[in-house]
Amino acid sequence: MVSSLTRDEATTRAEQIRVVDYRVTVDLSGAEDPQCATFGSEVTVRFTADEGAESFIDFVHESVSSVELNGELLDVDDVVEGSRIRLPGLGEANELRVVGRALYSRSGEGLHRYVDPQDGSVYIYTQYEPADCRRVFAVFEQPDLKAEFHFTVLTPQGWLAASNGEHLGAQPSDDGDVPGALSHEFAPTQRISSYITTILAGPYARVTDEWTGTDPQGETVSIPLALYCRRALAEAMDAEEIFALTKQGLDFFPKLFAFAYPFGKYEQAFVPEYNLGAMENPGMVTFTEDYLFPSGATRAQRAGRANTLMHEMSHMWFGDLVTMRWWDDLWLKESFAEFMGAYACVHATGYTDAWVTFALARKEWAYRQDQLRTTHPIVADIVDLEAARQNFDGITYAKGASVLKQLVAFVGEESFMDACRAYFRRFAFRNTDLSDFLDVLDEACDHDVRAWAQLWLHTTGVPVLSLDTPGSSADDAAAPAGASLTQAASPLRP
């Protein structure tokens, strides 16, 4: 059984422990055998804790063969409870090693294995948000326990592998399920949350390029770029346009945010059977392969892809560099990325009508959803992971972005961007909640942003406006002498 995780449990665990780093080995060397339902998973995690505390780590496994805490083997039958492993008697500095096997996924959650019906090739990718990293290795699965991750991935011969960090090299290894596998090493990540770590492996087609420009300090920098898709789609991958957009984004965001791109390389993979549009794994963004167009594309389709590409790139700052403490503040990354997707298209690309599309499609989605009984405030009350899963919706994305557009008009574009710049400077590689963003916003402008936040972020429903034009009728061609606009809904909003 897969346990949920409640906000209260996550709060307690974050008070108890601080994670230093993970060393993770995932053995995909048997992935080409369809009879092989599981892969090997080994993790060594170093973390500090309150002396004598008891906590737990999450692992949705097929089997756990050993749990070793601070040099002592624990009784697996005693400490493994469903998808949790109990960690009794912690010290101030701890080293935990968990070895087991986990299941290949066909649902797009965790480590997904796809067999291409066209040529029989096997392709692997991961998708974790909000909490499916634990389907691949033992991990403290909550956004505010950031850590450095070191990945090693064993694959069959002839496969590529990619992850958040730079690929350091691949060597033959006999440590895997299948002898003579390739062992791929990756550079350690920055301190990031587990839900944005990722692994890509398979005989993917790969195209590379490089962005060179100046960082906000005026230094010349280069960022390696790569695109991946399955080989059967390689001809449909229009690398020229995708790289051009990527470079426009890398020209734009670091300057806008006065913060250099923090994750080294920028790779983008188009993957099959993907449950969503895209995912902002730092250094290695995944997209649905529906964003490749083997039969040609309309301008609207290409504009939609450009918008998603910019949305994901803005997440490198909003979400990846600075991350919400818990899923209540999912809007702190999704509403902002939705806003920035359109904003960057207008200011940095040829898709300058992005706000028109936003108003006609995305905002319309928000209006509809906000009038249903299932609506919720933009800042939601997310008591556990199941609630978090339900929150990726028209309110968090489209209403949140609509309200941000209004906020930018209210406080002024320059003040809003000043607040963003202060936010990244102050909270880089850390976690935040709404009050942290309101603090920087308050410092950047003279408006009562907390009253605004109370009325727009903590309430539901659309304002209802009526226009009263005394003395005129519908067929009266002349303009009325006077008119009054009344807001009827509760609460009254600025």
- Catalytic residue set: 312
Closest to 36 measured CA to CA, from 113, 110, 108: 113
Binding-residue pattern over the window 324 to 343 for Zn ion, x denoting contact by CB under 5 A: ----------x--x------
Closest to 125 measured CA to CA, from 160, 83, 166, 149: 160
DSSP character for 237? Answer: -
Query: Which of 259/318 has CB closer to Zn ion?
Result: 318
DSSP character for 377? Answer: -
DSSP character for 470? Answer: T
Binding-residue pattern over the window 219 to 258 for Zn ion, x denoting contact by CB under 5 A: ----------------------------------------
Shortest CB 307 distance to Zn ion, Å: 11
CA–CA gap between residue 333 and residue 257 (Å, rounded): 15
Query: Which of 184/311 has CB closer to Zn ion?
Result: 311
Residue nearest to Zn ion (CB): 337
Tokens matching residue 439: 């603090």
Shortest CB 253 distance to Zn ion, Å: 14
Angle ∠(369,374,375) on CA atoms, nearest 5: 55
Q: Are strands 284-288 and 80-81 parallel, antiparallel or unpaired?
A: unpaired
Shortest CB 258 distance to Zn ion, Å: 22
Count the Cβ atoms, other than its own, within 10 Å of residue 451. Answer: 10
Residues 72-111 that bind Zn ion (CB under 5 A): none
DSSP character for 105? Answer: B
**Count of alpha carbons within 13 angstroms of residue 143, beta-carbon side:** 27
Shortest CB 280 distance to Zn ion, Å: 6
CA–CA gap between residue 423 and residue 319 (Å, rounded): 12
Query: Which of 334/393 has CB closer to Zn ion?
Result: 334
Shortest CB 338 distance to Zn ion, Å: 7
Query: Which of 361/489 has CB closer to Zn ion?
Result: 361
DSSP lists the bridge partners of residue 278 as 287
Tokens matching residue 123: 């392709």
Query: Which of 334/418 has CB closer to Zn ion?
Result: 334
Contacts with Zn ion by CB under 5 A: the residue count is 2
Interface with Zn ion by CB under 5 A: which residues? 334, 337
